[in-house]
Structure 1
Amino acid sequence: MSISRNQQVCLSDTPYYHCVSRCVRRAFLCGEDPINGTSYEHRRGWVENRLLFLASVFSIDVCAYAVMSNHLHIVLHIDEDKAKSWSTLEVIQRWHQLHKGTLFTQQYEKEEVLPDYAITLAEASAKTYRKRLMDISWFMKELNEPIARRANFEDGCTGHFWEGRFKSQALLDEAALIACMAYVDLNPLRANMAKTPEDSEFTSIKQRVVSAKSKHQPKALYPFVGNPRKDMPDGLPFKLMGYLELVDMTGRIIREGKRGAIDVSLLPILQRLNVSSENWLCIVTEFEKRTGKVVGQEQSIKHYSESHHRYRKPNKTCSKLLA
């Protein structure tokens, strides 16, 4: 039985989630159709642009993404504190980038003189908007629906473009987070769509590599801020260069079709997380096959199950590999 979305997303467990949207019937609606030769490659650009735009509006950060021919992977971070820090005016301004709002929110944004009842109504709307702007379901809705409408208009048809419900996985700890991010960033290599991570179009890894050459990080993506420490700034708890080396070395092995061991001495991230190189290769190439609604090491899975009183515990295959 499926679990409702509000039960799957719990910020007290983790702010990190892996979301997947697939085209209906897994048809080639975003890439090149191998049957009739029609190219829909430009639609991948639509998805990427919309995704990064939404990250600038919502209190949700994009950690990793890959826009494939018939599906989309995103690793998201929900920043609850950021959303709570916004003023009523800022919430309304952000929402109006997506929708026109109400007459009262429009007047509030223009800072017109309003009667008390109108201010109360505008503030009530802003309260609703604030919740939506840190909600993954709303984020995915605002991503998928405009793309579907645009694609259907281009095709001169109606009906579903995406499958009805996106898949969501909670990433409970650092090991699950880094494995999922690498899995997403390496999707084009595994699908033979690119030869190297930096050549993979419409992916976060390409953006990070290009920016790293200029000695900065892409503003549209959640930044790497280094290993956990006191007074740590907001960002991914890993070193950027360590992650890029990890993805590059893993990608080389995947591309060459080898299952050999990685030199762990060159990969401080795996050392810190105590993940064996053999297990790493297995999980990073079969992440979706080996995971369920929640992903993490055994202790994280155990704590999650106990706190949610779930007697049918999530699949432990992945948790053992991450150990």
Structure 2
Amino acid sequence: MPRQARGEVIDPNQIQVVHCVERCVRQAWLCGKDAATGRCYEHRRGWIRDRMEFLASVFGIDCLTFSIMSSHAHLVLRSRPDVVAAWSDDEVARRWLRLFPKRRNHDGSPAEPTIPELDMIRNCPEVLAERRRRLSDVSWYMRCLAENIARRSNAEDEVRGHFFEGRFRAQLLLDEASLLACAAYVDLNPIRAAMAETPETSDFTGAKDRIDDCRQSGSRKRESTHDWERGRGRRHSGWMSPMEIDEQKDPVGPNLDDSGRRGSLKGFLRRRSEITYPFDLFLCG
């Protein structure tokens, strides 16, 4: 049976949690060590993570967790049209021009947009509405991730053609139980693949980033996970969504984050007294 079209699964106008899987062509180890040639491409896993961190600072899409393997990547994403709707027209235009700049600086970074460049978006209602919609579209997020990595990898290998398979896999997570199960599956994927023995040694995963930040911070044992995750001290995981939702503390609505690293401070798992997540054992140790 053919898979559902992504347009039938993903709706950028709705808050949705989606498990996305992007695979290299022929499931080749193009982000790991190539057994045939002996070449090591592990650094590309860092490229993917860095690109995801950049996209988190631009899109109205929360990254709940991720794992980057040798031949594929898992991402658990939450679209946030409510966050994008709270942005001003100027903010939408500036974010879009960070994604697709008209000019670049000498180091390749996006140049500061000019007034005419901004006006081309914010003064045209149709263009502005479309750009706003795309900034909460998981398909556009994945496109901006895959194209960048494919272009850099092909340039490094001096080849042309597809780097990732033609379409990423997308599965909606419709309730908290499925979200918890999927997030645990994604974070524990390196262990399942025998690439690591524990979450704390599982490189390029959301779990390891959170654990590293927790261990580097002396405040973890003095603060709740909820308060600590919303602090400024998180270096590795500060661009990701906080894990916990505290229904008594958290404000209703978008809960915008002004750090510039992510769109919102909204968590994704209800706060409970018992341990509910595998690497909580490491965080609490």
From the superposition, tell whether residues 106 and 177 of structure 1 become closer, same or farther in structure 2 (CA, over 3 Å): same
Q: Gapped runs of 5+ residues in structure 2? A: 104-112, 221-227, 230-236, 253-265
The answer to whether the 8 A contact 2:65-2:205 is kept is yes
User: Which residue does the alignment assign to 2:46?
Assistant: 45
Mapped partners of 2:93, 2:158: distance in 1? 35
1:221 is matched with 240
Residue-by-residue CA offset, 1:66-96 (whole Å, 9 max, x unaligned):
0000000000011111100111100011011
When residues 166 and 42 of structure 1 are mapped into structure 2, their CA distance, relative to the original with a 3 A threshold, is: same
1:124-203 mapped onto 2 (5 Å cutoff): 124-203=126-205
C-alpha separation between the residues in 2 aligned to 1:97 and 1:12? 22
Paired residue secondary structure (2:181):
helix
For normalisation by structure 1, the TM-score amounts to: 0.68
CA distance in 2, matches of 1:245, 1:83: 30
User: SS of the residue aligned with 1:61?
Assistant: strand
Residues 227 and 107 from structure 1, CA distance in 2 versus in 1: closer, same or farther, beyond 3 angstroms? Answer: closer
Distance 2:136 2:12 in 1: 11
Question: Alpha-carbon deviation of 1:245?
Answer: 4.9
Give, in angstroms, the shift of residue 14 of structure 1.
5.5
2:42 partner letter: E
1:107 to 115, 121, 145: 115
Unaligned runs of 5+ in 1: 252-323
Q: Report which stretch shifted further, 180-189 or 239-248.
A: 239-248
Does the aligned pair in 2 maintain the 1:196–1:248 contact within 8 Å? no
Is this contact kept in 2: 1:186–1:247, CA < 8 A? no
| TM superposition shift of 1:248 | 6.3
2:12–2:137: 8 Å Cα contact kept in structure 1? no
Report the equivalent of 1:21.
22
CA RMSD of aligned residues (A): 2.8
User: What CA distance in whole angstroms lies between the structure 2 residues aligned with 1:139 and 1:240?
Assistant: 31
Q: Relative to total residues, which structure has the larger helix share, 1 or 2?
A: 1
Identity level (%): 43
* CA gap 1:109/1:239 in 2 versus in 1, 3 angstroms: farther
Q: Which range is displaced more, 153-162 or 8-17? A: 8-17
The answer to which of 178-187 and 230-239 deviates more is 230-239
8 Å contact 1:67–1:73 — kept in the other structure?
Answer: yes
Query: Which structure is higher in RCO with an 8 Å CA cutoff and minimum separation 6?
Result: 2
Which position in structure 1 is the counterpart of 2:94? 93
* Cα 1:190/1:34, change in 2 over 3 Å: same
Question: Aligned partners of 2:199 and 2:153: how far apart in 1?
Answer: 28
**SS of 2:57's equivalent?**
helix
Q: Distance in 1 between matches of 2:277 and 2:19?
A: 22
Q: Would you say how many aligned residue pairs link Structure 1 and Structure 2?
A: 243
**Which residue identity is paired with 1:204?**
G
1:201 maps to a residue whose letter is D
State the 4+ residue runs in structure 1 displaced beyond 6 angstroms: none
